[in-house]
Amino acid sequence: MFNDDFFDDDFREIEDLLTEFFKLKRGEPHGLISEDDFEYLIDYFETNNDREHTALACDFATTLYPFSSVLLLRKAEWLMDHKNYGQACKMLDQVDEVDPGSIECVFLKSDILIEQNRFSEAVQLLEANVERFDSVDKTDILLELSEIYDELEEYEKVYSSLKRILDYEPTNEDALLRICFWAEITNSHEDSITLHQAILEETPYNTMAWYNLGVLIRGLNSTKRPLTLMNTVWPSTINLSMPIEIRAMPIFNSNNLIKPLKC
């Protein structure tokens, strides 16, 4: 049974849209169905598990609006969800023609490759597109790469992908949350300490970086060599019996931030 409460009041009533859509289906004269209308019709049919009319709405939409990257992407996503990978890729090739800067197109292509267990090809695709995008989109690509490298058990490349993010976005929480673990897995304590020192030079109030630095120093201390400077670096007010990462917090909170540790 159709869910007639699907649409917000800001959009045309679903009954009106359905009337015009079914006129179009029967080949009868019909009113205008806009790009936005088709998006909501697709959503409506999907919500009601109406596969036949979802596919038909996608077909009508991309026929009437062949240069709409949004509608081409919706059809590609629909095809991918139903494992019609070849047709989905053709749709995405059309998106490339009308909107070469579409990050959604890149990710959908990557998802199609991943669903077919073609991980190496997905990596090649994403790596080829990293420098095409800036800021958030670039970060999203690198985070996706880190997850694929994890699947491939290429753990040094997981660490490298996270490091690449922090090189230009030192406050990125996703990368900061993950990098300590991968520094441990890849035995990259020294390199990660150097990275976090640079981060703290640039963003001294970066609490997560301070915490990570403490964790990394503890790992280096236990696996590599004693850090003889530890007692001289930390202020006398810090309890040296506390875990190193906890000691970092009052240093961050103090008014006189020390320079990152010279290990």
SS3 for 242? coil
| pLDDT reported for residue 244 | 52
Tokens of 167: 């090189």
Residue 58 has pLDDT above 60, yes or no: yes
Q: Please state, in angstroms and rounded to a whole number, the distance separating the CA atoms of residues 219 and 216.
A: 5
Q: Which long-range contacts (CB under 8 A, 24 or more apart) does 25-31 make?
A: 25/56, 25/60
Integer CA distances (angstroms), 58 to 7, 48, 61, 89, in order: 18, 15, 5, 15
Mean pLDDT of 131-155: 94
% of residues, the chain, pLDDT over 70: 79
Residue 37 has pLDDT above 70, yes or no: yes
| pLDDT reported for residue 222 | 52
Top-confidence residue, 255 or 26:
26
Query: Each residue of 211-257: pLDDT tens digit?
Result: 898 888 877 765 444 344 344 334 444 444 445 555 555 444 444 44
Closest-CA residue to 263 (of 233, 237, 243): 233
pTM score, whole prediction = 0.78
Instruction: Please tell me what DSSP assigns to residue 91.
Output: H
pLDDT bracket for residue 140 (50, 70, 90): very high
pLDDT bracket for residue 16 (50, 70, 90): confident
SS3 for 44? helix
Q: CB–CB of 189/220 below 8 Å? A: yes
| Mean pLDDT, the chain, integer | 83
Please state at what angle helix 103-115 crosses helix 85-98, rounded to 10 degrees: 160
Residues 6+ apart with CB under 8 A from 225: none
Top-confidence residue, 14 or 98:
98
In terms of residues, how long is the chain? 263
